[in-house]
């Protein structure tokens, strides 16, 4: 993996989970996007969603493994499918790459291993084992890892220890609240300066509103590391862990997170591109979308290269 890959403008993919739901995925419990990996009838839907981002100009796609983390599989009583689901997500990403006939990269989405948008305060050994159990499956198939929406320096440190064992590079995706800090209370500068190592490819504001990205851009700019964003289009500036609002069991239809968090339909692809242009002027080189973004948003920002 070229360590300088993200020093020039690169396009990441759009959000996966919300787009699958928009395209017809019927989720089970709180598995959301992972549901698509446990039912063969959705495999083509996953491939097509990857392909839509690639055709729009994405140079990197993420594996559909955000909700195949062990704790979420366990909550939905499908832990016995943990290995299968993570492997299948990689196979479907590789299939999309093959069909596209484009030399794109595949990043292994390694999410926060407990709740999203909040720091994981569990025992360090438990967190490390959860990261390792998922990363070891993805490792064979991916070009590098993407730490997907992590909320504390402690989690980043634990994940980096696992990734170093696997000898892979990593793009670090940190979640930021409207006060400009991680949910753990740490600043962006504190986290990057403390935990950055030679395996880092860059750092991304992960699943963060446009307003927070713009507000924190100057802080990212101070860092000696490529930076950018995967912006969400939720209807709230600061999302809370959404599965807490969804009590559906695995045999029930899960609620779409946007019922709780809303969505910003007013952010058209053109507006998204206008925002991105402004962030590029501030030094960002890593550009992409998260929840409620789709291929049309990627297509417009890809034109800015």
The whole-number pLDDT of residue 249 equals 63
* Domain locations along the chain: 5-302
Q: Among 3.20.20.330, 3.20.20.70, 3.40.50.80, 3.30.1180.10, what is the CATH number of 5-302?
A: 3.20.20.330
DSSP 8-state code for residue 28: B
- Whole-prediction pTM value? 0.96
Under the banding of pLDDT at 50, 70 and 90, the label for residue 240 is confident
Spatial neighbors of 31 by CB under 8 A, at least 6 apart, are 38, 67, 72, 73, 76, 78, 250, 254
Q: 139-156 as b/e, with b when 16 or more CB fall inside 10 Å?
A: bebbebbbbbbbbbbbbb
Radius of gyration over alpha carbons of the chain, in Å? 17
The per-residue pLDDT for 206 is 98
The pLDDT score that the predictor gives to residue 250 is 62
Helix (H) or strand (E) run with residue 26 in it: none
Measured in degrees and rounded to the nearest 5, phi and psi for residue 172 equal -100, 115
**What does the pLDDT look like over 111-140, one tens digit per residue?**
999 999 999 999 999 999 999 999 999 999
Q: Give the per-residue pLDDT at 303.
A: 98
pLDDT at 64: 98
pLDDT at 295 exceeding the cut of 80: yes
Band (247; pLDDT cuts 50, 70, 90): low
Region 83-91 average pLDDT: 98
Q: 291 falls in which pLDDT band (50, 70, 90)?
A: very high
Q: Alpha carbon 279 to chain centroid distance? A: 19
Q: Which residues pair with 110 in a beta bridge?
A: 147
pLDDT-derived band at 251, boundaries 50, 70, 90: low
Mean pLDDT for 161-180 is: 97
φ, ψ of residue 19 to 5 degrees: the values are: -70, -40
Residue 252 pLDDT greater than 80, yes or no? no
What mean pLDDT is reported for the chain? 95
Among 5, 29, 152, smallest CA distance to 81 is for: 29
CB 15 within 8 A of CB 298: no
pLDDT at 179: 97
pLDDT of the residue at 260: 85
């Amino acid at each position: 993996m070229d360590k300088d890959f993200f020093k020039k403008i690169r396009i990441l993919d759009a959000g996966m989970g919300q787009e699958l739901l928009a395209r017809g995925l019927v989720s089970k419990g709180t598995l959301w996007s992972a549901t698509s990996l446990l039912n063969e009838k959705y495999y083509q839907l996953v491939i097509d969603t990857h392909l839509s981002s690639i055709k729009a100009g994405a140079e990197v796609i993420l594996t559909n493994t955000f909700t195949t983390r062990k704790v979420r599989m366990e909550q939905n009583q499908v832990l016995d499918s943990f290995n299968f689901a993570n492997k299948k997500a990689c196979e479907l990403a590789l299939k999309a790459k093959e069909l596209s006939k484009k030399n794109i990269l595949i990043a292994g989405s390694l999410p926060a291993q407990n709740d999203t948008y909040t720091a994981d305060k569990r025992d360090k050994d438990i967190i490390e084992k959860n990261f390792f159990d998922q990363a070891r499956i993805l490792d064979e198939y991916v070009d590098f890892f993407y730490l997907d929406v992590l909320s504390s320096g402690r989690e980043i440190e634990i994940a980096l220890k696992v990734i170093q064992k696997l000898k892979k590079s990593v793009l670090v995706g940190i979640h930021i609240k409207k006060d400009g800090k991680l949910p753990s209370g740490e600043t962006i500068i504190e986290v990057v300066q403390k935990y950055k190592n030679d395996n880092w490819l860059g750092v991304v504001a992960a699943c963060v509103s446009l307003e927070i990205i713009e507000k924190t851009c100057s802080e990212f700019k101070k860092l000696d590391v490529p930076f950018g964003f995967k912006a969400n289009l939720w209807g709230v500036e600061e999302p809370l862990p959404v599965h807490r609002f969804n009590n559906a069991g695995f045999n029930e239809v899960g609620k779409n997170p946007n019922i709780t968090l809303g969505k910003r339909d007013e952010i058209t692809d053109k507006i998204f591109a206008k925002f991105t242009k402004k962030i590029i002027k501030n030094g960002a080189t890593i550009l992409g979308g998260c929840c409620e973004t789709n291929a049309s948003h990627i297509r417009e920002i890809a034109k800015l290269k």
